[in-house]
């Protein structure tokens, strides 16, 4: 990321040889330079990691005004959601939104017959038949270890026992647009 000196409140400082700025300043600098999906993923991550609060996004948005590329970001701010736990989740959500099938909820609770939460899904939709459609987006890193594979299988089984419908996608699926295609097929 490039730090532009000379703008009020943007003075960098050094730590361990790295030049740093406040998260709000870094976001204001980055959002205008990134494509929409990446910019929203960065905003989601900053919210999720509690680097900024929801109420601070208005200040970041104000700081963006007047920067090169600011006009194209106008509709992006309302897309930010700190419940997304990874860029893949953000990109899958935006893909579904763009295709006219936005998720009804994020980090959706999957409950058993007694009402107890047995798992959380990345994206969720309520189907017309009353069932829950759960989408999981699995990155190779976090889900690639043997322990993670076994836990994902146990989780998948817990979700299946509730009657919810589970779809699982990988990064190549997200890049190919398969999430929205499969979700739309089930919702229409």
Tell me, yes or no, whether 108 and 181 share the same domain.
yes
Residue 25 lies in a domain: yes
Cβ-based neighbour number of residue 10 at 10 Å: 17
d(C-alpha 185, C-alpha 99), whole Å: 11
Query: What is the share, in percent, of the chain residues with pLDDT greater than 90?
Result: 77
| Any domain includes 1 | no
Three-state SS for 115? coil
The reply to whether 20 and 106 lie within a common domain is no
Q: Is 101 found in the same domain as 74?
A: no
Give yes or no: residues 61 and 93 share one domain.
Answer: no
Kindly state whether residues 67 and 99 are assigned to the same domain.
Answer: no
Terminal C-alpha separation, the chain: 42
Q: How far apart are CA 66 and CA 69, in angstroms?
A: 8
Domain annotation covers residue 5: no
Lowest-pLDDT range of 2-6, 23-27, 55-59, 158-162:
2-6
Shared domain check, 98 and 169: yes
Domain range for residue 63? 13-79
For 107: left if phi > 0, alpha if psi spans -120 to 50, otherwise beta; the answer is left
Tokens 């709000």: give the residue. Answer: 24
Identify the band that residue 13 occupies on the pLDDT scale cut at 50, 70 and 90.
low
Domain final position from 28, 45, 79: 79
Residues 30-59 have pLDDT tens digits of: 999 999 999 999 999 999 999 999 999 999
pLDDT score of 143 more than 70: no
134 and 183 together in one domain? yes
Per-residue pLDDT averaged across 70-83, rounded? 96
Q: Residue 87 half-sphere exposure, CB side, CA atoms within 13 Å?
A: 10
| Phi, psi for 145 (deg, rounded to 5) | -80, 155
- DSSP for 53-83, please give it: -GGGHHHHHHHHTTSTT-GGGTTTGGG--TT
Please tell me whether residues 93 and 171 are part of one structural domain: yes
CATH of the domain at 144: 3.40.960
Tokens 């069932």 sit at which residue? 131
97 inside domain:
yes
- Residue 6 scores a pLDDT above 50: no
- pTM for the full model? 0.86
> Is residue 175 pLDDT above 90, yes or no?
yes
Task: Count structural domains, the chain.
Answer: 2
Confidence bin at 94 (pLDDT 50/70/90): very high
What per-residue confidence (pLDDT) applies to 65?
92
């Amino acid at each position: 990321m490039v730090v532009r000196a000379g703008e009020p409140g943007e003075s960098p400082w050094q730590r361990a040889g790295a030049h740093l700025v406040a998260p709000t300043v870094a976001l204001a600098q980055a959002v205008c330079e990134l494509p929409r999906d990446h910019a929203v993923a960065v905003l989601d991550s900053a919210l999720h990691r509690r680097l900024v609060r929801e109420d601070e996004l208005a200040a970041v948005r104000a700081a963006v005004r007047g920067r090169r590329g600011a006009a194209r970001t106008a509709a992006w701010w309302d897309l930010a959601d700190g419940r997304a736990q990874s860029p893949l989740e953000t990109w899958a959500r935006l893909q579904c939104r763009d295709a006219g099938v936005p998720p009804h909820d994020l980090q959706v609770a999957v409950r058993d017959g007694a009402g107890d939460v047995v798992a959380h899904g990345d994206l969720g939709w309520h189907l017309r038949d009353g069932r829950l459609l759960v989408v999981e987006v699995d990155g190779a890193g976090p889900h690639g270890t043997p322990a993670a594979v076994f836990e994902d299988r146990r989780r998948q089984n817990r979700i299946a026992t509730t009657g919810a419908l589970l779809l699982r996608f990988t990064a190549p699926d997200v890049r190919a647009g398969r999430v929205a295609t499969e979700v739309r097929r089930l919702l229409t």
